[in-house]
Structure 1
Amino acid sequence: MRIYQKRNTCFIGIDMHKDMHCAVIIDCWMNKLGEVSFENRPSKFPAFVEDVRRICGTKEFVFGLEDTRGFGRNLAAYLVGRRFEVKHVNPAYTSAVRLSNPIIFKDDTYDAYCVARVLRDMVDSLQDARQEDIFWTIRQLVKRRDLIVKSNVMNKNQLHSQLSYSYPSYRKFFALVDAKSAMCFWEHYPSPEHVKATTPEKIYETIKPVHQALKLQRIHEILAMIEKDGDTRKDYQPERDFIVRNIVKEIRHNKELIAEIDDELRKLLPLTGYKLHTMPGIDLATEAQLISEIGDINRFPDSDKLARFMGLAPVQFSSAGKGKDQRCRNGNRALNAIFHFMAVQMVAISASGKPRHPVFRGYFEQKVKEGKNKPQALVCVARRLVRIIYGMMKTKTEYRPYQKDL
């Protein structure tokens, strides 16, 4: 936007909230022309636009939205649908403007003013506020899934704690504490007194429907371990048993919820056109997380921009002609973590001694031989993953493994 265009343009910064939005209008000289507060309801948006027209008069205007929690999604969709120019303002830019003030303070009006200032200075480089429903929906499902998974982790920790009182050797009973056979056992026999009140055959018949490969001999081995643990009965044992059963029910219910979310993701992910699941090491959950964090790949002109977005590219720190590249600790840390764990999986060695992905393992070992330490080599693997995934998303093609020329 040239200077004469800016002189005839008003910049509207909007601080988004759950119930009320605050908008501040400034001109190109950063003079405050007006302020509008309005409810976050679609029925109030037309009146807000009319107030903006009245304040701006004959000048053009552009909107800047600092939408951190999705509270401004409805307003953005309304403005974009009516062909207004709407820009997304990164909260980091707004925070930098706020902190540049000698006396730092914060309120809705000043926040909206800071958004307007960032919009004025960076109107040509800010991204358009595009509201694509499919990516937003996938992101909401992924957030919901992550919340349930974290809840189940806490439930399993509580289950470990409760079982250690009643069954000191409980870790040797089953491979996983939350396996189907284990959950069935804890639900029916939360403490040794329930085991002693029945027979091995009845226990076997109880667990057999959920574990077809179970053998009666294994039940006898579990009973022998319980016998070696001794008397673990404590006061208020019925209440303790209730806690164990309650935790088991919640874990089972959360697993059902996760399965339902996975079913919805299986329906949505193909609609994006991306085929990340064809790459070894990327399952449904990882693919959904990648798409939810990256969104529309066309936002990034090349893979280097995507790497910088997640803080995987080095940052130059220099002064007076001296300096060096250093590790970036900013960017999208959630996406950075996804690529880090993917890199770890790609270079891992399986239990049989064979690399899970020979090509990435060879690349990792090559970088180590060149003098890089293992964390640095792992970053190189992550960067290569960024380039491959960027190409797959950009062209919407399947993963094609590398093959050496014969």
Structure 2
Amino acid sequence: MRHITKVLVVGAARLLGDIGDITRFGSRAHFASFNGTAPIDASSGDQNRHRLSRAGNRRINRVLHIMAVVQLRHDTEGRAYFRRKLAAGKTPMEAMRALKRRLSDVVYKQMTADAKRLQTGPGGHAGATLQSSAADPIPIAGTSDKSLPGPAEPQPRTPLKINS
């Protein structure tokens, strides 16, 4: 159980670190293209197929892959989605690609919702304003009447004891 928690924390940290500001992606399709889960058309004749892209951020793609594998190991919505894709005639690889894309969309949706909730102000800090928080709009610093101390006086050193 501790190993699973560590994997989840590391995966979340990887997503946050590599993605950064989610608002730089205009849509979930743009985000999917960035992380390599956007499908590439591999159709031929009457066969309409898509394959997994090898482009994009491979570290984020790996986190999404681990998320997909965990979804398949447990009775989750992801496993039900995967099974529906298999029942629709997709190969296991195509169903996995579709699940990873769906998880990419979930990550995008959650991160954009979090970004809207935590609107940042100037300097990238939530709640920051251009107004000073000082009580007086123009703080005045007065000079001290006391003079500054002079140069430091030399201090005697403690002699070292040498054991012989």
Please classify the TM superposition score into its range, dividing by the shorter chain length: 0.5 to 0.7
1:315 matched to 2:33? The reply is no
User: Partners of 2:94 and 2:6 in 1: how far apart?
Assistant: 21
User: Partners of 1:361 and 1:281 in 2: how far apart?
Assistant: 22
Tell me the equivalent position of 1:391: 109
> Structure 2: which 5+ runs fail to align?
116-164
Tell me the equivalent position of 1:304: 29
Percent identity of the aligned residues?
A: 33
Tell me the equivalent position of 2:155: none
Tell me the equivalent position of 2:100: 382
Q: After superposition, give the CA deviation of every residue in 1:15-40 in whole Å (9 maximum; x if it has no partner).
A: xxxxxxxxxxxxxxxxxxxxxxxxxx
> 1:337 is matched with which residue: 19, 43, 62?
62
Q: After superposition, give the CA deviation of every residue in 1:105-155 in whole Å (9 maximum; x if it has no partner).
A: xxxxxxxxxxxxxxxxxxxxxxxxxxxxxxxxxxxxxxxxxxxxxxxxxxx
1:362 matched to 2:87? The reply is no
User: Partners of 2:102 and 2:19 in 1: how far apart?
Assistant: 17
Secondary structure, in 3 states, of the residue corresponding to 1:396? helix
Give, as a single letter, the amino acid of the residue that structure 2 aligns with 1:366: R
Q: Cα distance, 1:295 vs. partner?
A: 0.9
Give the strand-richer structure, 1 or 2: 1
Contact 1:281–1:346 (CA<8 Å) still a contact in 2?
Answer: no
Tell me the equivalent position of 1:289: 14
TM-score by length of 1: 0.24
Contact 1:314–1:328 (CA<8 Å) still a contact in 2?
Answer: yes
Contact 1:347–1:360 (CA<8 Å) still a contact in 2?
Answer: yes
User: Partners of 2:113 and 2:60 in 1: how far apart?
Assistant: 21
Q: Cα distance, 1:324 vs. partner?
A: 7.0
**Higher normalized contact order (CA 8 Å, seq sep 6+, divided by chain length):** 2
**Cα pair distance change 1:311/1:345, threshold 3 Å:** same
Q: Cα distance, 1:314 vs. partner?
A: 2.1
> 1:346 is matched with which residue: 54, 71, 79?
71
Contact 2:15–2:60 (CA<8 Å) still a contact in 1?
Answer: yes
User: Partners of 1:281 and 1:386 in 2: how far apart?
Assistant: 21
Contact 2:51–2:94 (CA<8 Å) still a contact in 1?
Answer: no
Q: After superposition, give the CA deviation of every residue in 1:212-248 in whole Å (9 maximum; x if it has no partner).
A: xxxxxxxxxxxxxxxxxxxxxxxxxxxxxxxxxxxxx
Give, as a single letter, the amino acid of the residue that structure 1 aligns with 2:53: C
Contact 1:317–1:325 (CA<8 Å) still a contact in 2?
Answer: yes
**Cα pair distance change 1:283/1:368, threshold 3 Å:** same
Q: Cα distance, 1:283 vs. partner?
A: 2.4
Contact 2:37–2:104 (CA<8 Å) still a contact in 1?
Answer: no
Tell me the equivalent position of 1:203: none
Secondary structure, in 3 states, of the residue corresponding to 1:283? helix
User: Partners of 1:367 and 1:284 in 2: how far apart?
Assistant: 29
**Cα pair distance change 1:374/1:325, threshold 3 Å:** closer
Tell me the equivalent position of 2:128: none
Give, as a single letter, the amino acid of the residue that structure 1 aligns with 2:86: V
Q: Cα distance, 1:316 vs. partner?
A: 4.4
User: Partners of 1:344 and 1:326 in 2: how far apart?
Assistant: 18
TM-score by length of 2: 0.58
RMSD: 2.6
Q: After superposition, give the CA deviation of every residue in 1:141-179 in whole Å (9 maximum; x if it has no partner).
A: xxxxxxxxxxxxxxxxxxxxxxxxxxxxxxxxxxxxxxx
Give the helix-richer structure, 1 or 2: 1
Q: Cα distance, 1:296 vs. partner?
A: 0.6
Aligned residues: 107
